[in-house]
Amino acid sequence: MVFAVASNNPGKLREIQRILDASGHIAKSQRELGYDFEVEETGTTFEENARLKAAALCERSGLPTIADDSGLCVDALDGAPGVYSARYCGRHGDDEANNDKLLAALGDLPREKRSARFVSAVCLWLPDGRSLTAMGECPGWVGFERRGTNGFGYDPIFYVGEKSYAELTDEEKDGLSHRGKALALLEQAMEAFMDPQGEFSGAGTQVTLREKK
């Protein structure tokens, strides 16, 4: 199956394409398909923003489209930066400034008060207007310093156990990450959802999958 991927974030694209490729799919970025635009993320949840992005590219490309909206939710900050993760510092996509601001906000809080979780909503939007959204989470904590180079965004300061996301191999990260979990859920339900005569038929159908706790 060929999917359009609604993202201009190189790191996110690499992860999504790598995971979809491993499942036998072909993932084409919006720029590969000749579309260079940004969708205004006006949603108040990851799910809403993922749907906005997926719908916009699907409408233009006519292809089944996958979009991710994700972010870091820190307990000591009442869930911030959350849906505003990419623009936490006031500018969109400035990873270094976002990390600096988060580390400063947590200051010298001890490890047991630095709990956090990465959250991902991955939406599959079909040309007939149906959508399937899968939610994935990875619990961890915010470290005191950056470590590792194999990552992007908050990866160098988000730790799972004693390793930051940016210290994990691609295989390790895909197996436990929020985005990896969401895409795995999506893959499990995809065949049934794609059937136009199946249980999820009907224009405008929207389905959300969540991990079983």
Sign for the pseudo-dihedral over CA of 25, 32, 166, 111: negative
Coil, strand or helix at 126: coil
Number of other CB atoms surrounding residue 5 within 10 Å: 25
What does the alpha-carbon distance between residue 173 and residue 176 come to, in Å, rounded to a whole number?
6
> Is residue 69 annotated as part of the catalytic site, yes or no?
yes
Contacts of residue 32, Cβ cutoff 8 Å, sequence gap at least 6: none
State the catalytic residue, choosing from 21, 36, 68, 69: 69
Supply the DSSP symbol for 177. S
Residues 195, 198: Cα–Cα separation, whole Å = 5
Positions annotated as catalytic residues are: 69
